[in-house]
Structure 1
Amino acid sequence: MSLDKSHSDNRIQSLALRWRRRLEVFFPSKRITVEQARRLKKQMHDFSRGGLALFWQRQGIYAGAAILCGFYYSIPIAVLCYVLCQLTDLFDSFISLRVINRKDHSFRHSIVLLKWLFLSNTLSTLAVAIFTYLIAKLEGPTEHFSSLFFLFAAGLFAAVNNHQLPQVLAVRLIVYGALFIYIPGADIWNQHTSYQSTAWLHFATSLFVLYFVLECSVIFLRLYQKGLDQLDELRAERDRAQESYEVKSQFVSVVSHELRTPLTSINGSLTLLRDSDLSKNPDSAARMLDIAHKNSLRLSKLINDLLDIQKMEAHKMTYIFASVDLGELIDEAAESVTPYADQFETTIRVTQPKQPITIRGDHERMMQVLDNLLSNAVKFSHPGSYIELGASLQDGLPMLEVRDYGIGIPDDAHNKVFEKFSQVDNSDRRDFDGTGLGLSIVRQIVEDHDAEIDFESAPGEGTRFFITFPVAPDTADE
């Protein structure tokens, strides 16, 4: 008994879940993108604005239909149906005004208003359907010209003016379509007419007209959806142009800063060398030459970074893949960056893997990756601190890790770490030099190695960058 009850409960839950998913097509309740929410808002606004613009046209249609019904069939029914159509239309117009004059533009409020629009238009559809059905009853078993023409006009009106919201359009077409089939079909059923009867001709004609209305609905719906798609493309193009402009502005700001500082130093050093008697102060001359040399290297690195970015964007970056021992790689990287770290009174601690680890990669590009990561770690560390550089196996996958205990990365800057020309401080008077290209280049090189890079950071506690590589083909079978 309990098993039967459990099975019945599961069937009910499954049925409820199925209907919930179907309703979500009409009223999306899950998290959607900003573009989808904005698109729904525009559809509702266009629908409501169009409905209000056609208010007086609908009044003329209702009045004309009521006058014809009252003159030829029944005044009480004409008045009753006219009042019913007026009440539902006024309610529909009231909801449309709420949509247009809304102050809460959240997605949740859009769903609430969408449900109200769905309700108001459903009531309006039922009012028109009742009006048409009563006229068909008053006509009796005949050709039903008036009732079917009213239905045709209502369906075509919906196809032309309600395509902005497929939910509302579907309800109108379903109700009108069912009535389109029922009115002539009921005559055939009740009178048991033969296939030679004109009743079947009327039924076939109704199907043809219904198909025409449905086809018009699909055409107008596709045209509107295509217009929305084009609008989204234009908006996306505008956003891309804005992003390009911002990147260009950042490029000018960063490059001008990075060029101005070393050029000023080089110019100053060379001016002192030109205007001074080098024989009297050789130590000062050597110091000036050292400053000029260091700043020329800084300019060379800036140019190389710009060239690398250009190659990556053009997909012309070349790699020479071979077996790379991670233990040897981190030793070489630490040795290369140590002179730079000494300037900041920072040491690099290397942790060798417990066993040899080999990856398939480009040795020079991997050195470039570690050079950028270690240089950043040194730059943002406190004097007297240390940096950890290590290689290990994590869940069977080779991993490189660079960890510092410096200032860390603010939480609001995490999503900008790997962007081009992006730094924590992009102003002209920032505390740390750099183009903001290093980590962008690092990520691209890592991804070109089919690897992944990520980081963990806490302000004031430091940052940990780690790169996870796929298993090298020559070691995968071992």
Structure 2
Amino acid sequence: MPDTAAFDEGVLPKAAVTWSDRNRLHDYAAIGQKLFVQRIVIYSAAMLLTGFYLDWATAVYFYAAIWLCEAFDALSLRSVLKRAALSPGEFRVEITRIYVVTFLGALTIALFSISIASLQGTDSGHFFPLFILVSASIFAAMNNHHFLKVLGLRLVIYVIAILYIPIRDVWIERPPLSSEIWMNLFTVLFVLGFIVELARNFLVGYSAQLEGRQALEAEHKRTLAAYEAKTRFLATVSHELRTPLTSIKGALDMINSGLVGEPPDKMKRLLDMAGRNSDRLADLVGDLLFLQSSDAGRLNLNIERVDLAVPARDAVEQTLPYAQRLGITIEIQAASGRFWINADKKRIEQVIANLLSNAAKFSRKGDNVVVSIDSTNAHVQLYVQDQGIGIPAGTGAKIFEEFFQIDAQDDRQFEGTGLGLSVSKRIVEAHGGTITYESEVGLGTTFCVELDAADLPADPPADPPA
């Protein structure tokens, strides 16, 4: 349980304003401003009842006094909420204003209730004025618990008024102990115990909540620092890897192409393997750099009018050698000149290539992967459908998370970094589109990329010859 001595921590700080001070003051001001209309409605109802049943002069006088207090309070609260930060001097000024308006407001309500009791005489039980004071005490415990001294000042004034009304009746009437006037006094004492306990619970609860918020904010800062460190690390490592990897990949490509002479037959298989793995490393580094740029908000797109069938065919040609090694066929069903979008052609081709690579990787030998394009209303949809192992139920959006693997075991059957779908999702969303999937385990998966359609060009090109 939080130490009650901490409730007033820094109320009049001598040094810098602490996190607790600043947030207590802000919370107090925010709640006070939020409940302004509610308080005015309650006061107005009380004044109307007083004027109608007792005395209009008393009602109008105290209603005007309460409005003055509320106006001063509203100005003070607005001053707090407008400030992004407070110096120790400014904090002391705002706290002093809160003390003043608390004293004046509570005193006005207390005197108003005592005046009503005086108008009622000693034989009414004073339900109405006591109800006003008890309700005001509960309202204060619920909404003014941010500073112990502020709440204490308000409750002390209310408690004095609550006790004064029945004690005054006892003093005037001097009734026997069996009289209901004494019962009213004992009832008031019982209610006061309830109010004190309620106030204590709200004080303790708010302080515990504030400690939790402070711990959560500190944890958030640590998490943000770790995230920034990770981003810097990925950026540095990726850039440092790219330069030597480009040299290695270039040298292997030259050797495998025969530009520097035909390599010995015994070395061809090893060189081909090295070339493929250098390509995989280059793709991995590229994906890491892309994610780092995306996280930093530096994702640049070269937007142009694109016939979606063109990057689809290019992606199929790019993926076909890999699919053929796995014994997978790829079929494309996309008419040219019909499905136009405003997009970065290279990035959209990257998305389709990622989807095709995944489809081929998770398919069985002899399966067929189909790429098709369709349109509805103002959107264009590209589908990549496979007959592979499918995605387990319950996977949901996790499949688009970075480094997520359907088979995450150390000895998993399928290779990959788990970045392809994450990169694809970011590219599609950067274009204002969506990427979704439907899957059934053992029967295959269909990914759908939906993008906004562009207007058809004046002279759309004809389909290329088969």
TM-score (norm 1): 0.47
